[in-house]
Amino acid sequence: MSQSRTFLEEPLLNNLKAIASRIRENVVRMISEAGSGHLGASLSIIDILVVLYFLKIKHDPKNPSWSERDRVILSKGHAAPALYAVLAECGYFPTSLLSSLRRIDSFLQGHPEVYIPGIDMVSGSLGQGLSIANGMALSFRLNGKNNRVYVIMGDGELNEGQVWEAALTSSHLMLDNITVIIDRNGFQQEGSTENIKRLEPLAEKWKAFGWHAIEIDGHDLNQIIAALNEAELTKGYPTVIIAHTIKGFQQNY
């Protein structure tokens, strides 16, 4: 785990925890009412999304297409309910719309679409997020902008060869304005990631591809913001944050 620590003041920390709890309730309700959806994969990334949207990134819910905003790519698009709930909490669209998840007349479908306020990439076919992020990050550099790109990726998604091709490109181009966050919950659709296609030692693999690697507890808000700050200060290398999480975190089945 990362030794870098940031200690958020207690009122702020408690507020973020309350937001995360409220979002979890909304996600469970959304998926229950829809009758389908990826609950475990959504719940495991909520703490990460809360720190990003309520503490770290530049964004404006009143102006979703603001050119100076940072970009967040949910490469594991099946966890869309978590992102929708966070965007609604931020004010991108009314929270009342969350109950329409996956309905035929709803704009909140099972995977993100760019016509939804706050969404920058259509995702669902796994493995594509980092490739898109490379293009965004390079464009920002060429245009002299300091926008950052964050990619949230599942650990099962690392079975995709395109991820590793894109990782080589990121490091070759020294795209230090990219941060990949891996939701390391240890499971994918057909079982344990280590039984299906062993990933460990994961941090060493990314380092071998020229990345700065950080390992954290993905449910510790202090560790999350510390890692994001460390990534922003790291120059010459893209950063991967391996966030160890629990699939279905804080949900009793």
Query: What pLDDT digit, counting tens, does each position of 198-212 carry?
Result: 999 999 999 999 999
| Mean pLDDT, rounded, for 99-119 | 93
To the nearest 10 degrees (0 to 180), the angle between helices 10-34 and 80-90 is: 130
Task: Round to whole Å and give the CA distance between 207 and 239.
Answer: 9
Q: What's the pLDDT at 1?
A: 53
Q: What's the pLDDT at 134?
A: 99
Residue that has been written with the tokens 């998604």 in this structure:
157
What percentage of the chain carries pLDDT values higher than 70?
96
Residue 55 lies in a domain: yes
Residue 84 lies in a domain: yes
Q: Which residues contact 184 (CB under 8 A, 6 or more apart)?
A: 155, 202, 218, 242, 243, 244, 245
Question: Cα-flanking dihedrals φ and ψ of residue 184, to 5°?
Answer: -90, 70
pTM: 0.94
Q: What's the pLDDT at 127?
A: 96
Q: In this model, does residue 95 exceed pLDDT 70?
A: yes
Least confident of 71-80, 106-115, 203-212, 221-230: 106-115
Q: What's the pLDDT at 7?
A: 84
- Beta partners for residue 242, in sequence order: 182, 215
Q: In this model, does residue 170 exceed pLDDT 70?
A: yes
Residue 124 belongs to domain with CATH number: 3.40.50.970
Number of domains the chain is built from = 1
Q: In this model, does residue 147 exceed pLDDT 60?
A: yes
In this structure, are residues 192 and 186 in contact, taking their beta carbons and an 8 Å threshold? yes
Q: In this model, does residue 90 exceed pLDDT 70?
A: yes
Residue 149 lies in a domain: yes
Higher per-residue confidence, 230 vs 3? 230
To 5 degrees, how large is the angle CA 92–CA 148–CA 247?
65
In this structure, are residues 80 and 31 in contact, taking their beta carbons and an 8 Å threshold? no
Q: In this model, does residue 6 exceed pLDDT 80?
A: no
Residue that has been written with the tokens 């300091």 in this structure:
146
Q: What's the pLDDT at 5?
A: 63
Residue 86 lies in a domain: yes
Residue 253 lies in a domain: no
Residue 24 lies in a domain: yes
In this structure, are residues 99 and 65 in contact, taking their beta carbons and an 8 Å threshold? no
In this structure, are residues 10 and 48 in contact, taking their beta carbons and an 8 Å threshold? no
In this structure, are residues 33 and 85 in contact, taking their beta carbons and an 8 Å threshold? no
Q: In this model, does residue 249 exceed pLDDT 90?
A: no
Residue 145 lies in a domain: yes
Residue 113 lies in a domain: yes
| Mean pLDDT, rounded, for 220-241 | 98
Q: What's the pLDDT at 191?
A: 75
- Helix ranges (DSSP H) in 123-209: 129-142, 161-172, 193-196, 202-208
State the average pLDDT for the chain.
Answer: 94
In terms of residue numbers, what domain contains 205? 10-244
What's the pLDDT tens digit per position in 33-65?
989 888 889 999 999 999 999 999 999 999 999
| Mean pLDDT, rounded, for 166-189 | 96
Cis status, amide bond into 112, omega within 30 of 0: no
Q: Which residues contact 113 (CB under 8 A, 6 or more apart)?
A: 107, 119, 122
Q: What's the pLDDT at 41?
A: 92
Q: What's the pLDDT at 253?
A: 44
